[in-house]
Chains A and B, each alone.
Chain A
């Protein structure tokens, strides 16, 4: 006890760590900045890994176990790098009633992956969302960040097909 706190060094010279440091500094490098910091890391790098968790935990002086606990508790955080393209099928109630289940199985069949997985070539990730809140447009699918409404299987597979091999 009593030893002075030494600021940890960022895992690499990557400039994006500056953004992460700034977000933690904005909240006074206090422990409650943990979720905000993890959001910033994921936004900058696309996912969380051991290095980033260790860096954030040390900077905010929280145990690594707590950072890992938070990162795995919340669905929004992912510890796997996403594919080049993402297809998010909404599985909210309205979408479910209007056939989101079939959309999901059709994607699974076409690409041989389950929700949360990425094709072996790293091209396409299949994800699900609890509810996009686009219930008026059910069933909804997000292709690379673009929400599409009233989607049917043929449209969906055609759109994903254009992402190439």
Chain B
């Protein structure tokens, strides 16, 4: 049965290629994606690819965009920026795509940006770094929130608790470093002073010396831990081991159930900023994002059998913003589509409410993040955030 289906599919493709090559191809909108589906960043690329596939199929089943079917062309850069650039060139020159969604990592995005700038094709990146949109590049957009916003969210929460002097302990991995730099940069503006800074290697198994120094530093009122992976879980455990009573803030990098499991009871009372997607069921019914994130979560889990991550959500937002822009433009002309992407206003996505402008190619504000506190081994929303 499987083989038969396969055969029919192949035959159908073959037939359409033979009969209606010109006719069919012109009726399709080609969308490109270069994602890190395998390799060290596969935790980004895999859900992104699945999401794009699911929603492109769904859009096509509903009659496509402006009466035309979408054709998704995905290449896997395996986390290598050189591959990404090669594939980007292929998408432009051979596949002749209308627009591009994807670039899983900051490295691959930065490598691909000049290709799409030169070819004048809209490029919606799914990578985190702020360098992608600052300074603004005419053809480049992105959907994920930036580390800077996470820092600002944490600092705003500190302010509401009248805490102004903090200690930072950061991972030396790419995520930890980037967020640490952003936090240090925005701290003065937020009225927060950093009294002491420590760091740890991403695979270290004990951070008590660094935390001892923090504990013994006079004047520290709270501790912020930008990091990703296992490090923050160990920091949290060591924090309780040393009996430090100050408020502890983790980053959005550990906003997953896994962090609570690994840190165990030590995670009680820890606060962290997180996107709405991770707490879909916990959002109040009045939250405008609730229907979107609940719907995406159900669809993704039903189709893939895996739990959602924010990364797949970024791909959903990228695709939806692009499709809506094409609908408004009533055309697939790249310049018109670009202009409409830039005019995106009030789009409610998984990452937040997007209001783009010629000077802001991300369009998210701090409301994209919710401040969470861990209570009884589960997330709770901090009121007023």
A and B part of one assembly: no
Which B residues are closer than 8 A to A by beta carbons? none
Which A residues are closer than 8 A to B by beta carbons? none
